Amino acid sequence: MSAPSTAAGAAPASAADAASGPEDTPALFRPITIRGLEIRNRIWVPPLCQYSVTRRDGVPHDWHLVHLGSMAAGGAGLVLAEATAVSPEGRISDHDTGLWNDEQAEAWARITRFIRSQGAASGIQLAHAGRKASVWPEHLRRPGSQPLDEGGWTTVSASAVAFDGLREPVALDEADILQVIADFRAAARRAVDAGFDVVEVHAAHGYLVHQFLSPLSNRRDDRWGGPLEHRARLLLEIVRTVRAEIGDRMPLFVRFSATDWVEGGWDEAQTSTVARWAEEAGADFFDISTGGLVRDAGIPVGPGYQAPFAEYVGRHAGVEVSAVGRITTAEQAEQLVASGAADAVMLGKAQMRDPHFAMRAAHELGAGTSMWPVQYLRARPEVNGGDW
């Protein structure tokens, strides 16, 4: 399966077309307003799992503050915290962050305060790992292992269909599904209380909501499976209930994997349809990635390899989107936003390598230095010979 092409002569993406700021300001550094939130630029930090909770209680700590805070201080417009479980059984590993209790919310509040103090917006990705839960943290991982005998737990999914190499999950019944929706709602309330500016629902990368969306993992014949509108029901119910909880002014994002990269699986056309439905249900913005449902899907990884999917969904669904995946240079990111292919870009590994990527990109594109922390002003290239 190859990346989609887009129609020639299609109108540019709405936010890029309506970007505010002087005409000579690079598109990447024009603010974007989503509901009641203005974000200072289009360089965003995607959710990056850290597998670093030390007490195994889901509480973020100093590492998370420094990891996320450094990128906020480095000039990013929006900093999204990692996939954060809405319930203990929704964690990918027992070293993951959570937002199912007040202790976790209080710890996150310290982090959101710092991010805001640096001029960036903060967001959190609410997640349930489903059949891909209860695995070893990445840095401790043993191939094909689920530590059910070492503090693990029974996994759940849309159907009793295992992810390759992992144990068979238990199919959720009606009451269990309703509890998942309630867990997302409670976590969304705690996200508001913790001071986050954006909430994102994780419907990508083969985790629980994606498991309901894809016909490869959803074999149900009730109201939660079968035709597309049934497979999308869990996501749409989560979007509605989260919107009701966070109110009218807070942006609500959805992260999609736009394709399973497997014939007969979830694809960009279905993603576009469900994105329209999700927008009607209360979502504002769509973070477009790919893959994760099937192991060894043969994904053709390369520079910007997922960006065409973001462009496809944005144009066909008529929604605002961000692109992610091997976006590594200021010029590449600027082209994606300036062309209307995406309304923003998510840079993960590039910002892990250089938390000040946004400041460097501003220098390279001639966008000024407004996001520099005052403590670092004396290091600006403009006062140090012009070299980064």
Q: What is the DSSP letter of 1?
A: -
Q: Are 122 and 197 in contact (CB under 8 A)?
A: yes
335 part of a folded domain: yes
Tokens describing residue 58: 């889901």
Angle between helices 102-117 and 62-73 (to 10 degrees): 30
Tokens describing residue 201: 């629902």
Q: What is the pTM of this model?
A: 0.94
CA 145 to CA 154: how far, in whole Å? 13
Please name the amino acid found at residue 99: L
Q: Which domain holds residue 26?
A: 14-383
9 part of a folded domain: no
Question: If you write DSSP's letter for every residue of 43-59 in order, what string do you get?
Answer: EEEPP------SSSSS-
Q: Is 328 exposed, middle or buried (0-12, 13-18, 19+ CB in 10 A)?
A: middle
2 part of a folded domain: no
**Structural domain total, the chain:** 1
Question: If you write DSSP's letter for every residue of 96-151 in order, what string do you get?
Answer: --B-SSHHHHHHHHHHHHHHHHTT-EEEEEEE--GGG-S---GGG--TT---TTTT
pLDDT attached to residue 189: 98
344 part of a folded domain: yes
* 353: CATH: 3.20.20.70
pLDDT attached to residue 62: 98
pLDDT attached to residue 112: 99
pLDDT attached to residue 23: 73
pLDDT attached to residue 5: 65
Q: In which residue are the tokens 């202790």 written? A: 103
Q: What is the DSSP letter of 386?
A: T
Decide the pairing of beta strands 37-39 and 32-34: antiparallel
Residue of 51, 207, 305, 312 with catalytic role: 207
**Residuewise pLDDT in 10s, the chain (388 residues):** 778 865 433 333 344 444 455 678 999 999 999 999 999 999 999 999 999 999 889 999 999 999 999 999 999 999 999 999 999 999 999 999 999 999 999 999 999 999 999 999 999 999 999 999 999 887 877 665 676 667 789 999 999 999 998 999 999 999 999 999 999 999 999 999 999 999 999 999 999 999 999 999 999 999 999 999 999 999 999 999 999 999 999 999 999 999 999 999 999 999 999 999 999 999 999 999 999 999 989 999 999 999 999 999 999 999 999 999 999 999 999 999 999 999 999 999 999 999 999 999 999 999 987 889 999 999 999 888 878 8
CA 71 to CA 79: how far, in whole Å? 7
1 part of a folded domain: no
388 part of a folded domain: no
79 part of a folded domain: yes
227 part of a folded domain: yes
Clarify whether 51 is annotated catalytic: no
